[in-house]
A and B are shown apart, each in its own frame.
Chain A
Amino acid sequence: MSLKEHFEIPVRYKQWSFGLMAVGAVSLIIGFFLYANGTEGQRAHFWSALLQNSVYFLLTVNAAMFFFTATTLAMGGWTLSFRRVTEAISACVPLIGGITFVIMMIIVFGNKHYVYEWLNKDLVNKDEILSGKRGFLNPTFFTIWTILSIGLWTILGMKMRSISREIDNGPLSVEEGKKYIYKNTVWSALYIVWFALTVASTVPWLWLMSLNAHWFSTMYSWYTFGSSFVSGVALMTLFVIYMKNQGYLEYTNAEHLHDLGKFQFAFSIFWTYLWFSQFMLIWYANISEETVYFRPRFLGPYQGIFYLNLIINFLAPLLIYMTRSAKRNYSTLVFMSVALLFGHWLDFYQMVFGSTSPNEVPMNLFDFGIAAGFVGLIIWKTGDAMSRYPLLQKNHPFFKESIIHHT
């Protein structure tokens, strides 16, 4: 059997990615002229849309690297037949991270206090709670921590990808194989530790929770992580199925996709668990400092999105992904992956806009245009990264484990 190891980007793939990017660019330009110099509400809409989309898509592509390192640490060999696809998705981190960083810096140093209220110095000086949080919520710390987060994700991700590529030339001996696994483990562990310190704790506080600077929730970071990981796995599933349909990834079969489906199913439940824990404690205690977050979402204009969010991200995967055959069916997987990506985009939407625009839902074509731009960027960059290197990591010591994988 001859393997198709080198991905040649189809013309239609390029057309789609550039088309979506063009839609994003046009939306950005139109939005800039319509909103960026308008009323405060319009400016808040413009910057919140950029913030929401960039953070959501950054955390989603970064989840691919988390998946890669977590399975490496767990000695999970089954992912190897499609691991290059997850690597390629994580190669979007520098690009989207750079865009996110630029947007953040414009918001913070452009003093856009209608996005982050803690940027308003007069307010902070008068407000006891906000001045108490000043050590954490200030432009200097924000900048340093953002640079560190995105920078180390990029650097450690690049290191993981280069380690992955260094065995492409020839098979390893047993001793070399052991050393190789050990090296992988060490670098994955470093990445995971940094991931825990950023995505699983500080970064959601800093980037998203501080939109409601008075409010806090200890569940928030895990809940954001749950969201981003579900959408990350959904994105991986979509790319793997696309590559299968193009005739690549011969060793990947229904068994691997079944496991990806299980990941989506399990982490949807995990997301719901955290979402509900956060909601129920606040609902039950009914303290006004805490309910301020849920007021626009649960009772205010975001009510529709609030329930739609639960239906798409909890009920749909629970009921549709429950059977074994659904997780092995390409059509169900594609349908649910797209639904979950949209559902978690919506989740991030209400996270951001519920805070910056609590009195009305300003959603219009502009938001979808920006989202399309990011999708185009991810499609283009992932395809580019997949076409550069062989699609199979044939010399990895666990490769056979992936071929004979059974569920």
Chain B
Amino acid sequence: MAVKKFVVGCFDDEAVLFPAVKKVRTSGYKLYDIFTPMPIHGLDKAMGLRETSIHTAGFFYGLLGTMTALCGIGYVFLVDWPINFGGKPHFSLPAWIPITFELTVLFSSIGMVMTFCYLCQMAPFVKKHHFHPRSTDDLFVMVIECTEKNNETDISGFLTSIGAIETNVQDAETGWWLGRYDKTEKPFEHKSALA
């Protein structure tokens, strides 16, 4: 991906964050993302994100699971090795339902988790830039992307004016990379510069 310039503003109050999001959207600055320690109800709507389609994906994974189960059991009991179980017909759907149900649930749940991880680019040894360490602790971190139409001092000032308690400017990689370390961090060099 690309390295871009971002302005990061930190908020410590939900009641300030929501009006701030509204003001950022009306001001025309490019809202990149908001990182929060916990899920906040209604924030996606305030940011204007579209509704997720992960449930549609889940439906199709479930359908795949149903088909896998029915085809698998059907192949075993009808084609490959038909056995007479207590005089029941070979095609005995009620007996297959529990396994079909389990595989449907398994496929849809695991498929949805995998899709979620893919969309969020989360996997072992996959690293992404972390804008503020306290976004996993107690701060709501709003990230605004700088474009050629505006500059970072204006955005910083704007963020402070709408209630950010702390702002800074970062040049960050937007994509992911393999490895355990930050791109800028040099783990085998002298660390005195790190705060």
Contact = CB atoms under 8 A, between A and B. Distances in A.
A132 B33 CA distance: 71
A280 B94 contact: yes
A284 B55 contact: no
A401 to B, nearest CB: 12
B97 A324 contact: no
A406 B55 contact: no
A283 B87 CA distance: 12
Contacts of A283: 94
B165 to A, nearest CB: 25
Contacts of A276: 94, 97
Nearest to B58: A322
B89 to A, nearest CB: 11
A284 B93 CA distance: 11
Contacts of A280: 94-95, 97-98
Contacts of B86: 286
Interface of B: 41-42, 51, 55-56, 59, 86-88, 94-95, 97-98
B41 A406 contact: yes
B95 A284 contact: yes
Interface string A14-57: 00000000000000000000000000000000000000000000
The interface residues of chain A, by DSSP majority, are classed as helix
Given A324-B51, A406-B41, A406-B42, A284 B56 contact: no
7 contacts: A280-B97, A284-B94, A286-B87, A322-B55, A324-B55, A325-B51, A406-B41
A288 interface: no
A323 B54 CA distance: 10
A91 B59 CA distance: 40
Q: Please classify how large the interface on chain A is, using the bins under 10, 10 to 19, 20 to 34, 35 or more.
A: 10 to 19
Contacts of A325: 51
A279 interface: yes
A325 B50 CA distance: 13
A327 B62 CA distance: 20
Given A276-B94, A406-B42, 6 more contacts: A279-B94, A284-B94, A286-B88, A323-B56, A324-B55, A325-B51
Contacts of B94: 276, 279-280, 283-284
Interface in A269-322: 276, 279-280, 283-284, 286, 322
Contacts of A284: 88, 94-95
Contacts of B95: 280, 284
Contacts of A324: 51, 55
Nearest to A407: B41
Nearest to B51: A324
**Nearest 10 interchain pairs by C-beta:** A406-B41, A280-B94, A283-B94, A406-B42, A322-B59, A284-B95, A323-B55, A276-B97, A324-B55, A280-B97
Nearest to B59: A322
B115 to A, nearest CB: 16
Nearest to B41: A406
A10 to B, nearest CB: 34
Interface string A321-349: 01111000000000000000000000000
A324 B59 CA distance: 12
A109 B29 CA distance: 80
A324 B51 CA distance: 9
A284 B86 CA distance: 9
Nearest to A283: B94
Contacts of B56: 323
Contacts of A323: 55-56
Contacts of B98: 280
